[in-house]
Amino acid sequence: MAWALKLPLADEVIESGLVQDFDASLSGIGQELGAGAYSMSDVLALPIFKQEESSLPPDNENKILPFQYVLCAATSPAVKLHDETLTYLNQGQSYEIRMLDNRKLGELPEINGKLVKSIFRVVFHDRRLQYTEHQQLEGWRWNRPGDRILDIDIPMSVGIIDPRANPNQLNTVEFLWDPAKRTSVFIQVHCISTEFTMRKHGGEKGVPFRVQIDTFKENENGEYTEHLHSASCQIKVFKPKGADRKQKTDREKMEKRTPHEKEKYQPSYETTILTECSPWPEITYVNNSPSPGFNSSHSSFPLGEGNGSPNHQPEPPPPVTDNLLPTTTPQEAQQWLHRNRFSTFTRLFTNFSGADLLKLTRDDVIQICGPADGIRLFNALKGRMVRPRLTIYVCQESLQLREQQQQQQQQQQKHEDGDSNGTFFVYHAIYLEELTAVELTEKIAQLFSISPCQISQIYKQGPTGIHVLISDEMIQNFQEEACFILDTMKAETNDSYHIILK
C-alpha cells in the first residue's frame, strides 16, 4: 500500500524535471540570430507566396476599404469554406460591375471632386499559365485576328469617362470615373476557359481566370500613377448559356449532399464581391505599352479604333522560309513552335528535336493536338505553302522597251525573254489573294517603293488602244500568270500618276 502511494509522487518529480529541461532547451532559441532576424512578414514576401497574397486575410478584418467592386453574377455553390469564390460567366455576355465609394468622412480628401482611373484586366489564375502569359495571348491573337479578350459595353455602362483599349493589350481596358457619382461598367469576356487547355475537354475542365481592377489617382503632374486600391475575383468563362448550365449542375450536386457535407461548402451569393489584392505589376513585354498613367496621346487608343488606320501596316505572318530542320535542337524547336502559333503545345513537345517532330505522321499529330491544330501543325512541319489565288507578271516600260516593241512589230516576231540583239527585260511577280483593285494598287506601289496615294487610277489597255478602268471584276477575270507592261502617265490634277497595264 505504501508502494502504491509513492508512485504518483515519483511521477510528479519526473514530470517536473522534464518540464524544466524542456524550458531550458527553448530559452536560447532566436538569441543567436539576433533580435528581429526572423519575421513572418519577410517569409510571406518571398516569391513563392506572391500568388496566395490575395487569399490571405487582412491584418484588420474590420478594415473598410476606400472602394468596393461588385460583379453582378452569382457565385458557385460548389466552393469549400475558406476557399476563394468562383463565378461562372458566359462568353460575350455583358456583366455589370458596380464601382462603390466606401470612404469614411474625411478619408482621401485629395480625390474629392476629382476623377480616378481604373484599369480592368482578365488574367490567368494558374501560376503555370502566368509564366507563359505573353505566348498564350499571342497565340490567341493569331487564332482570333481582330478580336479582343476584354471589352466594355459602352451603351450599357453608366458614369464612365474616356474609355480606352490598347490594341496591343487584348485583355485590358481602362476609363476614368467620379467616385461621388453612380458608376457601373458592363464588361464582356470573349475568350473561353477551354481555349487555353492542352486538351479540349469542355467548359468544366477549362482554366480559371481572374478579373482584376486597379484604381489610381492623379499625381502632381496630372498623371494617374498613384495607386489607391486593387481587387480581384476568380472566374471561369463558358460558351453562351454554358455558365447557366454549370451553375445549375453545381446546385443540383449540392442538393444531393447531406446536411453535414453542406456545412463544408459556401452558400451561393447573388453577386460576387472582389477581394483586395496586390496591384498588377507593370507589363514589360509589350512594346510601348501604356503605364498606369495615360496622359500622353501615343500610349492609349480610343475604344474600337483597333488597326483601322489606312496607313497601318498589318503585322506580317511568320516568314514562309521558317521551316523546321532535322538538325534543330529541342530549344530551337520550342522557339519554332512559339513563332508559328503553337505555344499551347510547347509543354507536350518539350524534349522533341526537329528530327523528332518531323518523324510524326499526320495521324500522330492529330491525335496529340486535335483535328484543327493537328492539321495546321502537320502542314507547318512539312513546309506546305498556300498558293496565291492569282499570279501576274509585270515589267516597267522604258524607252528601250518601246523601241524594241516597234522592231518586233516590224519584224512580226514575239520574244518573251528579250529580242534578237540579246537584250532581255526583267518581270516581277505579283501575288493576289483578295483580287481587288485596292490590293493591286498596294502591290504595285510596294513593288516600286512608292506610296499607294501616288497611284491615282489603274487602267488596262484595250482594243484600238483604249484605256479601261481596272475593277475588281476585271481582276477576277485575269488569266493565271498573265504578263503586263506597266506604263505611267501623269495625272492632270495633282502629283499622282495613272498606271496603264499593256
What is the structure's pLDDT at 424? 64
Per-residue pLDDT for 188 more than 80? yes
What is the structure's pLDDT at 4? 44
The per-residue pLDDT for range 295-330, each reduced to its tens digit, is: 333 333 344 333 333 333 333 344 445 678 888 888
Per-residue pLDDT for 183 more than 80? yes
More confident residue, 146 or 10: 146
Three-state DSSP class for 122? strand
The per-residue pLDDT for range 15-68, each reduced to its tens digit, is: 555 545 545 544 444 444 344 444 444 444 444 444 444 444 444 445 668 899
Per-residue pLDDT for 384 more than 70? no
What is the structure's pLDDT at 336? 87
482-490 vs 390-396, strand pairing mode: parallel
Whole-angstrom Cα distance, residue 389 to residue 378?
22
Per-residue pLDDT for 286 more than 50? no
The answer to whether the beta carbons of residues 194 and 200 sit under 8 Å apart is yes
What is the structure's pLDDT at 490? 80
Read off the pLDDT of each residue in 383-403 and give the average, rounded to a whole number. 71
Identify any residues that bridge with 265 across adjacent strands, giving them in sequence order. Answer: 80
Whole-angstrom Cα distance, residue 139 to residue 333?
16
Per-residue pLDDT for 492 more than 80? no
Burial class (CB in 10 A: 0-12, 13-18, 19+), 178: middle
Say which residues have a Cβ less than 8 Å from residue 320's Cβ, sequence separation at least 6.
Answer: 385
- Least Cα distance to 440 among 484, 387, 496 occurs for 484
Whole-angstrom Cα distance, residue 472 to residue 480?
15
Read off the pLDDT of each residue in 467-486 and give the average, rounded to a whole number. 89
CA distances from 421 to 365, 414, 417 (A): 56, 13, 11
Residue in the structure block whose three cell numbers are 499622282: 496
Measured over the CA atoms of residue 41, residue 43, residue 45 and residue 50, the dihedral's sign is negative
What is the structure's pLDDT at 338? 83
Residue 205 banded pLDDT, cuts 50, 70, 90: confident
Per-residue pLDDT for 486 more than 90? no
The per-residue pLDDT for range 437-448, each reduced to its tens digit, is: 888 888 888 887
Which three cell numbers, joined as nine digits, stand for 257?
Answer: 449532399
DSSP of 432-481, one letter per residue?
Answer: ESS--HHHHHHHHHHHTT--GGGEEEEEEE-GGG-EEE--HHHHHTPPTT
Residue 214 banded pLDDT, cuts 50, 70, 90: very high
Within 10 angstroms of residue 128's Cβ, the number of other Cβ atoms is 9
Identify any residues that bridge with 229 across adjacent strands, giving them in sequence order. Answer: 215
- Least Cα distance to 356 among 332, 321, 384 occurs for 332
User: 370-400 b/e with 16+ CB inside 10 Å = b?
Assistant: beebbebbbebbeeeeeeeebebebebbeee
DSSP state at residue 429: E
Read off the pLDDT of each residue in 154-165 and give the average, rounded to a whole number. 91
Torsion angles phi and psi, residue 453, rounded to 5: -65, -20
Read off the pLDDT of each residue in 478-489 and give the average, rounded to a whole number. 87
Q: pLDDT over 90 for what percent of the chain?
A: 22
Read off the pLDDT of each residue in 326-355 and give the average, rounded to a whole number. 84
Three-state DSSP class for 46? coil
pTM of the model: 0.47
Helices (H), 206-276: 242-255, 259-262
Residue 115 banded pLDDT, cuts 50, 70, 90: very high
Strand ranges, E, within 22-154 = 67-71, 86-90, 95-101, 116-124, 150-152
Whole-angstrom Cα distance, residue 258 to residue 265?
11
More confident residue, 252 or 293: 252
The per-residue pLDDT for range 53-94, each reduced to its tens digit, is: 444 444 444 566 889 999 999 999 999 988 899 999 999 999
Read off the pLDDT of each residue in 483-488 and give the average, rounded to a whole number. 86
Q: Kind and range of the H or E element at 417?
A: none
Given phi > 0 = left and psi -120 to 50 = alpha, else beta, which region is 74?
beta
What is the structure's pLDDT at 173? 94
- Least Cα distance to 142 among 322, 373, 357 occurs for 373
Whole-angstrom Cα distance, residue 483 to residue 251?
69
Whole-angstrom Cα distance, residue 275 to residue 68?
8
For Cα atoms 270, 200, 52, give the angle at the middle one, nearest 5 degrees: 50
What is the structure's pLDDT at 368? 84
Say which residues have a Cβ less than 8 Å from residue 293's Cβ, sequence separation at least 6.
Answer: 216, 219, 223, 224, 225
For the chain, what is the mean pLDDT? 76
The answer to whether the beta carbons of residues 377 and 345 sit under 8 Å apart is yes
